Amino acid sequence: MSDKRVTIFDTTLRDGEQCPGASMNLREKSEVARQLARLRVDVIEAGFPVISEGDFEAVQVIAREIKGPVICGLARCVPRDIDAAGEAVKPAGRRGRIHVFLATSKIHREFKLGKAQDEILRLAVDGVKRARGLVEDVEFSPEDGSRTEPDFLIQICRAVVAAGARTVNIPDTVGWAVPDQYAALIGQLHESVPEFRTGKAIISVHCHNDLGLAVANSLAAVRAGARQVECTVIGIGERAGNAALEEIVMALRTRSDFFGGATCGVHAPEILKSSRMVSRMSGLLVQRSKAIVGENAFAHSSGIHQDGILKRRETYEIMDPQDVGWGGTELPLTKHSGRAAMAARLKHLGFNMGESEVAALFAQFKTIGDKKKFVYDEDLSALVEGHITEVPETWSLDYLSVTTGNHTVPTATVRLRKPGVKGCARQEAATGDGPVDAVVKAMDRITEVSGQLKDYSLRAVSQGEDALGEVTLKAMFGNGDLQTGKGASTDVIEASARAYLNAVNRHLGSGHAKAARLAHP
Ligand code: KIV
Ligand code: ZN
CA–CA separation, 138 vs 222, rounded Å?
Answer: 21
Q: Whose Cα sits closest to atom 4 in ligand 1?
A: 173
Is 290 domain-assigned?
Answer: no
Q: Whose Cα sits closest to atom 5 in ligand 1?
A: 143
Q: Which of 468, 465, 471 is nearest to 498 (CA)?
A: 471
pLDDT band at 306 (very low <50, low <70, confident <90, very high): confident
Answer yes or no: is pLDDT of 479 > 80.
Answer: no
CA 68–ligand 1 middle distance (angstroms):
24
pLDDT band at 35 (very low <50, low <70, confident <90, very high): very high
321 and 273 housed in the same domain: no
As residues whose CB is below 5 A from the ion ligand 2, the structure lists 15
**At 176, is the secondary structure helix, strand, or coil?**
coil
Most informative mutation of 139, 148, 172, 208 for ligand 1 (most atoms within 8 A of CB): 208
pLDDT band at 445 (very low <50, low <70, confident <90, very high): very high
What domain range includes position 360?
Answer: 339-388
CA 9–ligand 1 middle distance (angstroms):
13
What is the per-residue pLDDT for 328?
A: 59
464 and 495 housed in the same domain: yes
DSSP code per residue over 251-268: HHHHTTTTTTT-B----G
Percentage of residues in the chain having pLDDT higher than 70: 96
358 and 220 housed in the same domain: no
What is the per-residue pLDDT for 153?
A: 98
Q: Whose Cα sits closest to atom 1 in ligand 1?
A: 173
Is 287 domain-assigned?
Answer: no
Answer yes or no: is pLDDT of 238 > 50.
Answer: yes
DSSP code of residue 284: -
**Mean pLDDT score, 453-460:** 88
Residues 146-161: tens digit of each pLDDT: 999 999 999 999 999 9
CA–CA separation, 189 vs 223, rounded Å?
Answer: 13
Q: Whose Cα sits closest to atom 8 in ligand 1?
A: 15
**Of 401 and 328, more confident:** 401
Percentage of residues in the chain having pLDDT higher than 90: 68
Answer yes or no: is pLDDT of 86 > 70.
Answer: yes
Mean pLDDT lowest among 246-260, 349-363, 399-413, 444-458 = 349-363
Answer yes or no: is pLDDT of 516 > 60.
Answer: no
What is the per-residue pLDDT for 520?
A: 45
**Mean pLDDT score, 70-99:** 98
User: Of the ligands numbered here, which is closest to the C-alpha atom of 243?
Assistant: 2
CA 514–ligand 2 middle distance (angstroms):
30
- Identify any residues that bridge with 408 across adjacent strands, giving them in sequence order: 405
What is the per-residue pLDDT for 216?
A: 98
310 and 426 housed in the same domain: no
**Of 383 and 456, more confident:** 456
CA–CA separation, 359 vs 45, rounded Å?
Answer: 33
What is the per-residue pLDDT for 2?
A: 66
pTM of structure? 0.84
What is the per-residue pLDDT for 106?
A: 98
247 and 302 housed in the same domain: no
CA 14–ligand 2 middle distance (angstroms):
9
Task: Say if CB 170 and CB 185 are below 8 A apart.
Answer: yes
What is the per-residue pLDDT for 380?
A: 86
User: Of the ligands numbered here, which is closest to the C-alpha atom of 143?
Assistant: 1
- Identify any residues that bridge with 456 across adjacent strands, giving them in sequence order: 473
pLDDT band at 511 (very low <50, low <70, confident <90, very high): low
**At 211, is the secondary structure helix, strand, or coil?**
coil
Is 289 domain-assigned?
Answer: no
Q: Residue 417 corresponds to which amino acid? A: R
477 and 430 housed in the same domain: yes
Mean pLDDT lowest among 32-41, 258-267, 480-489 = 480-489
Taking CA atoms, 79 is separated from 46, 48, 104, 213, 372, in Å, by 19, 14, 18, 34, 56
DSSP code of residue 13: T
Mean pLDDT lowest among 96-100, 349-353, 397-401 = 349-353
**Mean pLDDT score, 167-185:** 98
Residues at CB less than 6 angstroms from ligand 1: 15, 101, 141, 143, 169, 171, 173, 206, 208
- Atom number in ligand 1 closest to CA 143: 3
CA 135–ligand 2 middle distance (angstroms):
23
CA–CA separation, 484 vs 378, rounded Å?
Answer: 20
Mean pLDDT lowest among 58-72, 372-386, 412-426, 484-498 = 372-386
Q: Helices 150-162 and 179-192, interaxial angle, to 10°? A: 50
CA–CA separation, 303 vs 60, rounded Å?
Answer: 53
- Pairing type for strands 408-417 and 70-76 reads unpaired
230 and 348 housed in the same domain: no
DSSP code of residue 509: H
CA–CA separation, 345 vs 342, rounded Å?
Answer: 5
What is the per-residue pLDDT for 518?
A: 45
Task: Say if CB 468 and CB 382 are below 8 A apart.
Answer: yes
Q: Whose Cα sits closest to atom 6 in ligand 1?
A: 101
Residues 7-30: tens digit of each pLDDT: 999 999 999 998 877 888 898 899
CA–CA separation, 253 vs 285, rounded Å?
Answer: 25
For the chain, the residue count is 521
CA 212–ligand 2 middle distance (angstroms):
14
Is 288 domain-assigned?
Answer: no
What is the per-residue pLDDT for 209?
A: 98
Answer yes or no: is pLDDT of 410 > 50.
Answer: yes
User: Of the ligands numbered here, which is closest to the C-alpha atom of 148?
Assistant: 1
Is 215 domain-assigned?
Answer: yes
Q: Which of 465, 511, 462, 468 is nearest to 486 (CA)?
A: 468
What is the per-residue pLDDT for 519?
A: 44
- Mean pLDDT, the chain, as a whole number? 91
CA–CA separation, 495 vs 487, rounded Å?
Answer: 5
Q: Whose Cα sits closest to atom 3 in ligand 1?
A: 173
- Atom number in ligand 1 closest to CA 174: 1
- Identify any residues that bridge with 73 across adjacent strands, giving them in sequence order: 47, 98
CA dihedral 461, 464, 467, 473 (to 10 degrees): 50
CA dihedral 112, 115, 121, 124 (to 10 degrees): -50
Q: Which helix (H) or strand (E) holds 488?
A: strand 481-489
- Atom number in ligand 1 closest to CA 171: 3
Is 18 domain-assigned?
Answer: yes
Most informative mutation of 72, 206, 207, 208 for ligand 1 (most atoms within 8 A of CB): 206
345 and 493 housed in the same domain: no
- Pairing type for strands 451-460 and 167-172 reads unpaired
pLDDT band at 309 (very low <50, low <70, confident <90, very high): confident
268 and 353 housed in the same domain: no
Q: Whose Cα sits closest to atom 2 in ligand 1?
A: 173
DSSP code per residue over 365-421: HHHHHHH-S-B-HHHHHHHHHHHHT----SSEEEEEEEEEETTEEEEEEEEEE-TTS
**At 236, is the secondary structure helix, strand, or coil?**
coil
70 and 118 housed in the same domain: yes
Most informative mutation of 100, 143, 207 for ligand 1 (most atoms within 8 A of CB): 143
Mean pLDDT lowest among 10-24, 203-217, 256-270, 461-475 = 461-475
- Atom number in ligand 1 closest to CA 18: 8
CA–CA separation, 506 vs 97, rounded Å?
Answer: 31
Number of domains in the chain: 4
Q: Helices 26-38 and 53-65, interaxial angle, to 10°? A: 40
Report the CATH number at residue 227. 3.20.20.70
Q: Which of 15, 74, 14, 24 is nearest to 49 (CA)?
A: 74
**At 429, is the secondary structure helix, strand, or coil?**
strand
Most informative mutation of 102, 144, 173, 217 for ligand 1 (most atoms within 8 A of CB): 173
Is 333 domain-assigned?
Answer: no
**Mean pLDDT score, 497-504:** 94
- Atom number in ligand 1 closest to CA 208: 1
Task: Say if CB 233 and CB 245 are below 8 A apart.
Answer: yes
Report the CATH number at residue 454. 3.30.160.270
157 and 90 housed in the same domain: yes
Is 153 domain-assigned?
Answer: yes
Q: Which helix (H) or strand (E) holds 113?
A: none
CA–CA separation, 447 vs 427, rounded Å?
Answer: 10
pLDDT band at 68 (very low <50, low <70, confident <90, very high): very high
251 and 358 housed in the same domain: no
Residues 310-356: tens digit of each pLDDT: 888 889 899 999 999 998 556 778 888 888 889 888 888 878 888 88
What is the per-residue pLDDT for 329?
A: 53
Q: Which of 22, 166, 18, 54 is nearest to 99 (CA)?
A: 166
- Pairing type for strands 202-207 and 137-143 reads unpaired
- Atom number in ligand 1 closest to CA 145: 3
CA–CA separation, 212 vs 303, rounded Å?
Answer: 31
Most informative mutation of 15, 169, 230 for ligand 1 (most atoms within 8 A of CB): 15
What is the per-residue pLDDT for 347?
A: 84
Q: Give Dmax over CA atoms of the chain in angstroms.
A: 76
